[in-house]
Amino acid sequence: MLNIVVLVSGGGTNLQALINAEKDGKIQNGRICCVISSKPGAYALERAQQNGIKTRVLNRKEYPDVASYSQAVLAALQEEQADLVVYAGFMTILDESVCSAYPNRMMNVHPALIPSFCGKGFYGLHVHEAALEKGVKLTGATVHFVTAVCDGGPIILQKAVPVENGDTPETLQKRVMEQAEWEILPRAVSLFCEGKIKVENGLAYVLD
């Protein structure tokens, strides 16, 4: 059974999708052992507590820079004996020391089809604002491994979602979450725990 540590910063609907999947037996060979939040009041913490999952707060505002914050997160991940680290709406950048301690063992869900609308500054609602400004007809979500390049690691799963006339960033975000993120994040986590993801030459492959 692999130890899954989930990193959060906000509402935690993706965390909830993971909790539900674990309860429904849809995460093979893994259990969420700890949720770490970069913000003290994040609702995601309550979701974890309601489900008996250990929580920790590492308040980003209490650390002077990315390096000292990364050190603190790395120490916590090691204490929790993390086998897999999942960014589920984690809005804080960590430096290379964390990525290189968990190569192809950290994954992130991004609310667009990478390489569109990703990288620095593209997070949360901003991603959907940019998609609407461009007038794309399809957007979606991506689960990828985390590397030192923001949103640049090997892509594990993607799912497309249509943009509809009259969409606002909020309606589009809701559709992308419901139809894509909440489905592909738990699936990617289970695939990882089952040993069904292989990375070769910087590309990820799902094994049948």
Residues with catalytic function: 110
Chain positions contacting ligand GAR, by CB under 6 A: 10-14, 44, 88-89, 109-111, 123-124, 127, 177, 181
State both tokens at 68. Answer: 């000292």
Nearest distance from residue 110's CB to ligand GAR, in Å?
5
- In the bound state, the residue with its beta carbon closest to ligand GAR is 89
Beta carbon nearer to ligand GAR, 127 or 197: 127
Q: What is the DSSP letter of 61?
A: G
Nearest distance from residue 190's CB to ligand GAR, in Å?
18
State both tokens at 179. Answer: 């139809």
Angstrom distance (rounded) from CA 204 to CA 37: 27
Tell me phi and psi for residue 7, to 5 degrees.
-100, 130
Beta carbon nearer to ligand GAR, 30 or 111: 111
Beta carbon nearer to ligand GAR, 124 or 152: 124
Q: What is the 3-state secondary structure (H, E, C) of 128-193?
A: HHHHHHHCCCEEEEEEEECCCCCCCCCEEEEEEEECCCCCCHHHHHHHHHHHHHHHHHHHHHHHHH
Nearest distance from residue 207's CB to ligand GAR, in Å?
25
